[in-house]
Structure 1
Amino acid sequence: MVNDIPCIKNLYSDQWNTAFDDLQICTRITESCGIACSSEYIATPWQVQGGGVIGVIKLENMYRNPPVYKLKGHTSNILDIQFNPCYNEVIASSSEDMSIRIWEVCNKEDKSEEIKKSLCILNGHKKKVTIIDWNPLNYYILSSSSFDSTVNIWDIENEKKAFNISMPQKLTSLKWNNTGTLLTATCLNKKLHIIDPRQEKICTSFVGHTGGKCAKNIWIDGYSGNENYILSTGFSKNYMREIKLWDLKNISDPISTISIDNASAPLLPHYDESIGIIYVIGKGDGNCRYYQHSEGVLRKINEYKSCLPFKSFGFLPKQVCNIYKCEIGRIYKNENNKSIKPISFYVPRKNPNIFQEDLYPPIIKHDPNYSSKSWINGNNLEITRINIKDLTDADIKIYKKFKTVPKSMDSILIGDPCLDKRSFIIRQFTKRFTFFKKNNNIEFNNNLNISSESSFNINDSEQTEEKKKIKISIEDIDNDKNKSGEISDRLKEEYVQTETIEFNKIEENTNSNKFLDTITCKKWFGKPN
């Protein structure tokens, strides 16, 4: 069944003015993209003596010298890193020390920190591990390839090797298909291989590109593709870079061939399975070419051009893109090993504020309950999808700078005794309160103190010269439910936040529930009772 996908004729790119600056990105060139992205973090090999360190940064901390989470454990250079497709805080890394490590990044505070203990260490390769790739449906299954010409399938849940496949030569590419049942790989022997990992055998092999340099490949399946289609990039006999589209039902000739240029860097493809967009980038190139696949036809749309080359790059998950700007893709580009800049790809629409359903078809819904044992025993999970606009706030919180507090959540309302007892007003525009807990006291900046034991004081610098101190007891609040019945509950429970809350100006109102509708928070981690 072929799904209806839009024919994208115009797709323009825009490099952001902001960036992650003052970084120490590793200068060593690897065969992978070099940067990994999840919905919350961006990770890259870090420049240290001896190698083996991964730097992880929150996506929201895009400024000069951001806090860096450093993962230390490998004893040699990092060759590949990949975030888990389901758990955006879990990352896998491979190294020249012949090991694979699984890490969990759980940095709730914006400060630099080091992690030296990984979740698990996978040893089994005899030479350095060059490629790793997570199974797209089973999040406890990981594939890896090494210089020892083997492919290992790892059971992360039980920290052991599940399957081993011997290959003719060293692999230059290894990718799962959309259902997580087959692997496609390219070797230095110029052949493209289809692997059934659970049978531990190579199903099909054929010559992909006649050139001697390394080739890459990906599956062109999913929502806008075909389960039998594979795209490969490589070199011809004349050392021209080329792209080929293959149908596994007829491997004698490719369906489509596109000749690019005679540059020396291998082309790394990335596929957006929802609308059929294929991004092709070569390390050292300043260009990013993008095509659209539709029913076996590759059509070039446009290309991003820059005088600065791609030293490394990574693609952001599509569910995090800004749907109200018609952003369908974003690349994080390393230009000088000191900064990472985002490049967004937009489809021009007349009214981008309306959700464009054709640009954002349903994406794969993650099921973390699918165990590794079930997959190893031969059970395949059916793909279920969810609409992007139905995702939770946690998946798109990067663009929600302010979030409205629901009525069911507790809030702190500040009364002004100069007004009627049933009337309240917050006196300032976006007045910031930063509060924290210390010895059962909640202390506020801007000369505002609240004690959780008996009462709270308000010192307003804008009052008269006498600077009157106002004291309202919890008992008074308990006796007056119309004032705010939720204040006493919050103070008695000593529910303390460690983030900055911004209060907007609220007009005079006697209904306390309406206050809760208009209070906005920059970050809110509270839960309803």
Structure 2
Amino acid sequence: MAFMRKSKFRHVFGQALKRDQCYDAIRVTRTSWESTYCAVNPKFLAVITEAAGGGSFLVLPLAKTGRVSIDHPMVSGHKGAVLDIAWCPHNDNIIASAAEDCAIKVWQIPDEGLKENLTESVVDLLSHQRRVTLLQWHPTAMNVLLSTGSDNVIILWNVGTGEAILQVDMPDQIYSVSFNLDGSRFVCTCKDKNLRILDTHTLEVLQEGKGHLGAKPAQCVYLKNGQVFSTGFSKMSERQYALWNENDLSSPVVIEEIDSSNGVMFIFYDPDTNMVYLAGKGDSLIRYYEITDEAPYVHFLTLYQSNAPQRGIGFMPKRGLNVNNNEIARFYKLHNTGLCEVIPFTVPRKSELFQDDLYPDTAADEPAISADEFFAGKNAKPILASMKDGFASSNKEQLKVVRKSNILDKMPPKTSQTSSSNNAEAAAAPALPTGFDPKALLDDVRKLKLIVKAHERRIKTLEEKMAEFESEEETVDDA
């Protein structure tokens, strides 16, 4: 019988830590954008906070539990509310933030955490015409970042040079995005209710199909085996999950109703154990499932229940877990009260020895390929590392932004005027004014061209809509 199916994760249970081992008095953002508001890695916890006159987020070293001082230093450089934050998978000191001011900023966090407000980003990525809503780092390529905005554009950036390399216009607002294992494809959900799979090197749509039919935002994640897992709503506003074949999105392999709550369900996926955790906004539950090759493919295990709803939630990467306690997942749950509760999930075992079956080799913090190799068309699976003695982060150099042959610690000063015709002579001139950098200027010109192109596209779209509207009016007048 199906409910008697054997699984080593059958008895996984979550147990919240005591309050003094959690984080308290955090002023969590009040923005209504559907984000988890929280990002965590083996060194730091980051939470988007409420800030007057701009956007900021809090970064705490994991060990700094307890009450957060009201004047604790913040990362604060955005002119609008921060909507998403994402830690770089290959450098635990690097975090990217996206905001309503149309900017993406990449920050370098000191090992010991912040001693004062951090306002100087390593690099600003500017090309979106409207607020930037989602960020996703490439899983295996160094310094490659994907962003989406309310301008319905998806951009792939080379963070190391500060350049927008590829971009594609989507038909509607993008709600969720997820790379596959080697980063050669990604899946996204949109406001038009379609599920799409795109090639990361060409941004060509490879597959497209109707996803969840409800109006609320659907979420998606690419599984290790190439399938896609999604959550969303039915036409009757019931919450659902679905499993899809990446090569055929015409109909789901499995689709199941969960309940009739109205909170968007965020998906947290562990490729090592093939477990999926679902945490709904405003829910007090975290459900977890195991995905296998045998029908019904998605097997409900059990759920973690508490008496307080989650305002946001963070999920620790596998390399940050405690293998000595058989911990297979750890959540950081934001409460409406400002508490960030730490909830480890463990598999009960009597043996104190390392459990090989619970901890297959996991993705290390080493990139498999460079950004240049990726943008030249190369793909690579993640570099794996053993969890046997716990995972020690490798030493990283500070992120440098490389403008062609110049290595700069921060953005070069903007030069107001120059003639593009004499850039070559300026580059070769022996004595240039301090701070004048023709190559950086060329980069700025390239960025401006991208922005102008985006404006031209938008103007064209608006003109077409205006023409349609005028022709409709004429038809009505004639009638």
- Alpha-carbon shift at residue 394 of structure 1 (Å): 4.6
SS at match of 1:388: coil
138-147 or 16-25, larger mean C-alpha shift: 16-25
- Equivalent-residue separation in structure 2 for 1:136 and 1:365 (angstroms): 10
> SS where residue 151 of structure 2 aligns?
coil
Whole-angstrom CA distance in 2 between matches of 1:188 and 1:387: 40
1:36 aligns with 2:34: no
Distance in 2, matches of 1:307 and 1:391, equals 33
Deviations 1:187-210 (A, max 9, x none): 111100001132132111100111
Query: Are the aligned partners of 2:208 and 2:250 in contact in 1 as well (CA < 8 Å)?
Result: no
Q: Kindly tell me: are residues 149 and 336 of structure 1, through their superposed partners in 2, closer, same or farther at Cα, counting changes over 3 Å?
A: same
Residue of structure 1 in register with 2:356 after alignment: 357
Quickly say closer, same or farther: Cα 1:340–1:202, change in 2 above 3 A.
same
Partner of 1:316: 316
Amino acid in the other structure paired with 1:179:
D
Relative to structure 2, which stretch is displaced further, 278-287 or 47-56?
47-56
Determine the C-alpha separation between the residues in 1 that align with 2:33 and 2:46.
15
Tell me the distance in 2 between the aligned counterparts of 1:292 and 1:336: 30
Other structure's SS at 1:73 match: strand
1:114 Cα deviation from its structure 2 partner? 1.0
Call closer, same or farther: CA 1:208–1:369 in 2, change over 3 Å. closer
Show structure 1 runs of 4+ deviating over 6 A.
Answer: none
Distance 1:117 1:250 in 2: 45
Give the partner amino acid of 2:15.
D
Amino acid at match of 1:77: A
> Equivalent residue for 1:367?
366
Q: How far apart are 1:249 and its partner, in Å?
A: 3.3
Matching residue within 176, 181, 185 for 1:182: 185
Match of 1:283 in 2: 281
Q: Please give the residue correspondences for 1:249-288 in structure 2 after superposition, counting only pairs within 5 Å.
A: 249-288=247-286
1:6 touches 1:358 (CA, 8 Å); kept in 2? no
CA deviation after TM superposition for structure 1 residue 9, in Å: 1.1
Q: Which amino acid is 2:9 matched to?
A: I
Residue identity opposite 1:136 in structure 2:
P
State the 1:61 CA deviation.
0.8
Q: Deviations over 1:67-99 (max 9, x none)?
A: 944111100100000000010010000000001
Point out which structure has higher relative CO (alpha carbons under 8 A, 6+ apart).
2
Q: Which residue of structure 2 lines up, in the alignment, with residue 143 of structure 1?
A: 146
Q: Verify the 8 A CA contact 1:325 1:346 in the aligned structure 2.
A: yes
SS at match of 2:388: helix
SS of 1:374 mapped into structure 2: helix
Residue 54 (structure 2) aligns with: 51
Task: Say if 2:269 and 2:275, in contact at 8 Å, map to a contact too.
Answer: yes
CA–CA distance in 1 between the matches of 2:275 and 2:29?
30
1:449-460 paired onto structure 2 within 5 Å: none
Report if the CA contact (8 A) 1:165-1:197 is conserved: no
Q: TM-score, normalised by structure 1?
A: 0.70
Name which one, 1 or 2, has greater alpha-carbon Rg.
Answer: 1
Query: Once the two structures are superposed, what CA deviation does each residue of 1:482-523 show, in whole Å capped at 9, x if it has no partner?
Result: xxxxxxxxxxxxxxxxxxxxxxxxxxxxxxxxxxxxxxxxxx
Task: Quote the residue 1:298 is aligned against.
Answer: 298
1:250 deviation in Å?
3.6
CA gap of 1:369–1:344, structure 2 versus 1, over 3 A, is: closer
CA distance in 1, matches of 2:24, 2:203: 45
- What is the distance in 1 between the residues matched to 2:382 and 2:81? 36
Amino acid at match of 1:251: L
The residue number in structure 1 matching 2:159 is 156
Task: Indicate the SS of the match to 1:48.
Answer: coil
1:96 aligns with 2:112: no
Which digits, 9 at most, give the CA deviation of each residue in 1:274-295, with x for residues without a partner? 0011000111111110101111
- DSSP-derived class of the 1:189 partner: coil
CA distance in structure 2 between the aligned counterparts of 1:278 and 1:240, rounded to whole angstroms: 19
Displacement, 1:141? 0.5
Q: Which residue identity lines up with residue 129 of structure 1 in the other structure?
A: V
Q: Over aligned residues, Cα RMSD in angstroms?
A: 1.8
Counterpart AA for 1:349: R
Provide the C-alpha distance between the structure 2 equivalents of 1:69 and 1:376, rounded to a whole number of angstroms.
37
Matches within 5 A, 1:374-413: 374-390=373-389, 393-394=392-393
Contact 2:207/2:247 (8 A) holds in 1: no
Separation (CA, whole Å) in 2 of partners of 1:308 and 1:29? 19
In structure 2, the CA distance between the partners of 1:95 and 1:184, relative to structure 1 (3 Å rule), is same
Cross-structure match for 1:85 = 89
Are 1:116 and 2:115 an aligned pair? no
Relative to structure 2, which stretch is displaced further, 49-58 or 285-294?
49-58
**Cα distance in 1 between the residues matched to 2:25 and 2:365:** 35
> Using the alignment, how far apart are the partners of 1:172 and 1:249 within structure 2?
21
Alignment of 1:338-349 (within 5 A): 338-349=338-349
For the residue of structure 2 that corresponds to 1:381, the secondary structure is: coil
SS of aligned partner of 2:373? helix
Equivalent residues of 2:88, 2:137 under 8 A apart: yes
Amino acid at match of 1:303: L
Q: Secondary structure at the match of 2:101?
A: coil
Aligned counterpart for 1:192 among listed residues 192, 195, 208: 195
1:107 to partner: Cα distance: 4.3
Counterpart-to-counterpart distance in 1, 2:43 and 2:376: 33
CA distance in structure 1 between the aligned counterparts of 2:392 and 2:86, rounded to whole angstroms: 24
* Residue 410 (structure 1) aligns with: none
What secondary structure sits across from 2:314 in the alignment?
A: strand
1:41-83 deviations in Å (ceiling 9; x for gaps): 0001122212311110010011223694411110010000000
Counterpart residue identity of residue 373, structure 1: D
Unpaired runs of at least 5, structure 2: 1-5, 395-479
Deviation of 1:365 (Å): 2.9
Would you say the 8 A contact 2:37–2:85 is kept in 1?
yes
Residue identity (%): 28
Note if 1:11 corresponds to 2:12.
yes
Task: Give the conservation status (yes or no) of the 8 Å contact 1:311–1:337.
Answer: no
- Tell me the CA shift for residue 28 of structure 1: 2.3
